[in-house]
Structure 1
């Protein structure tokens, strides 16, 4: 598995109120020795990449996202004992995006087949195709399990470009599934109409992609959101949950490549994360597009860490 061998200890350190389960925080739970990890434990793997964002003409900086997420998560208190393993980072050097996605896929396939519950820390949203490329090679999917991809995002990311980027991962997934004789079960929650051209809406329709607009995802529309998520879950056996932080309002998540003028409230996004994690179908939870260079008071990193915390502590 081509990941960085060591994650600096400073990224998994924080407040310590004393010994005992009642004082547990994330930095107490993370092991660096894979020999101590058992099936059912959490595994973190980072994807330090700006290459896809640069190709998509976005604001670079997401390569620093994995470290910022670790720092934000480290001191969060755990409601119950759990154990996690940090597999390190897949680092994309320069424009070597395809090689980085392949290496991430290798890491994800290895961790999932080892029975671990995988959290991928991005990185631009090109991370999603790397994760998918690993899931498609897992024993469960090759044996016929139906994979579903739920994207919390203001964008479809279905661009048909000559070169892969942060705007193309889900079209790449659809093409990958087609090569295996399958249709991609891909739904999106939080779509911003002004941020997606008519061509993208047509591509989504041609692929059978169901979506819920950001204007339909307010707190008062929680029942509609829950019904959407439940219908998605009914159509698959395994879930790849990918969270592009630009689904959140800019006031909540300023540190992203494309801040949202409208966005989906964090209360709604967190409820979705908990519902998917409690379904028993979640295999990978992924966070993308955190850009620490543009964050304010680590607001975006802390919000993202809260979503990871909710998903992992609810995961069944």
Structure 2
């Protein structure tokens, strides 16, 4: 019989606390999340990536390694609107500067989750999480014998994160690494970066994105008047893909909405404009995993960024 014990005996469930209401159908996340077990039915698996070594290498504000705990605490009291179960799969922790080891450890944790039908949501952590997330999905798809799947990578981010990893691998290089990894596997590289700030990305990065055929929409493109056009672009991108990997760098949001990140955005894209696009991705039937990156509790104000991140997890997991 399958083991009923948690896959990781070190899973800490203490963040899952909150108010309990007496009315029926009034459950909250803290009442429903369970430690992941081998016998658990497929559901949402929350896996922390306690790492900001890539942010440090990228000369950003460190502290994102504390993000997974803060996100769990913010998610715990939110109302429960799911049919399927949700699990806490524990954390992958980076020791010192051992970013590459942590990335491989996360990939190796993700692959069996995907193999048994869970939809993982990774709680970051610096945006170096993206290479680890893609690697776990790639290992899963390769184990199923998929030879050239079109994996659509949708990144909501103020930055391309396409810097050259030959100099130093960091939170600024994951999508270049994914492009290289896709080429090595003979897979197409399908990347959409939404919310890019022209002020925060050099001409070299815009040139690199053009060379790679990236779907780019800048932060200044996001306006309620143009949202339908952006949604149509996104739908065409999704239609060309077999699988979707969604990654959200919280620095895509304005600093007023998300102050607790490595690099706060002077302009950003508001949550109100992002949410409809996330719903389309969620409901596409192609989303295999998602991650949220750069939550930095050390620089948060009144838990504002953690609450936004928790709302995003809540939105991505709605299935009532």
TM > 0.5 between the two? yes
* CA offsets 1:45-88 (integer angstroms, 9 cap, x no match): 11000100000000000000000110000110022443111110
Q: Which residue of 1 aligns with 2:240?
A: 235
Name which of 278, 284, 291 aligns with 1:286: 291
Q: What is the DSSP-based 3-state SS (H/G/I as helix, E as strand, rest coil) of the residue aligned with 1:263? A: coil
Instruction: Tell me, yes or no, if structure 1 residue 304 matches structure 2 residue 306.
Output: no
Instruction: Tell me, yes or no, if structure 1 residue 30 matches structure 2 residue 29.
Output: no
Aligned pair in 2 of structure 1 residues 110, 93: CA closer, same or farther (>3 Å)?
same
Q: Which residue of 1 aligns with 2:17?
A: 13
Q: Which residue of 2 aligns with 1:198?
A: 203
User: TM-score if structure 2 supplies the norm length?
Assistant: 0.93
Q: What is the DSSP-based 3-state SS (H/G/I as helix, E as strand, rest coil) of the residue aligned with 2:81? A: coil
Instruction: Number of aligned residue pairs: give it.
Output: 311
* CA offsets 1:227-256 (integer angstroms, 9 cap, x no match): 121022011111100000000000000000
Deviation at 1:219, TM superposition (A): 2.5
Aligned pair in 2 of structure 1 residues 203, 4: CA closer, same or farther (>3 Å)?
farther
1:256-295 equivalence runs, <5 A: 256-295=261-300
User: TM-score if structure 1 supplies the norm length?
Assistant: 0.95
Name which of 159, 172, 176 aligns with 1:167: 172
Deviation at 1:24, TM superposition (A): 1.3
Distance 1:109 1:244 in 2: 22
Q: Which residue of 1 aligns with 2:3?
A: none
1:1-316 equivalence runs, <5 A: 5-18=9-22, 20=24, 22-39=25-42, 41-139=43-141, 142-144=145-147, 145-161=149-165, 162-314=167-319
Q: What is the DSSP-based 3-state SS (H/G/I as helix, E as strand, rest coil) of the residue aligned with 2:89? A: strand
Q: Is the 8 A contact 2:191 2:214 kept in 1?
A: yes
Ranges of 4+ aligned residues in structure 1 off by more than 6 Å: none
* CA offsets 1:189-222 (integer angstroms, 9 cap, x no match): 0010000000000111111111101011122321
Deviation at 1:274, TM superposition (A): 1.1
Q: What is the DSSP-based 3-state SS (H/G/I as helix, E as strand, rest coil) of the residue aligned with 1:241? A: strand
How large is the RMSD of aligned CA atoms in angstroms? 1.6
* CA offsets 1:248-288 (integer angstroms, 9 cap, x no match): 00000000000001101101111121110001010101100
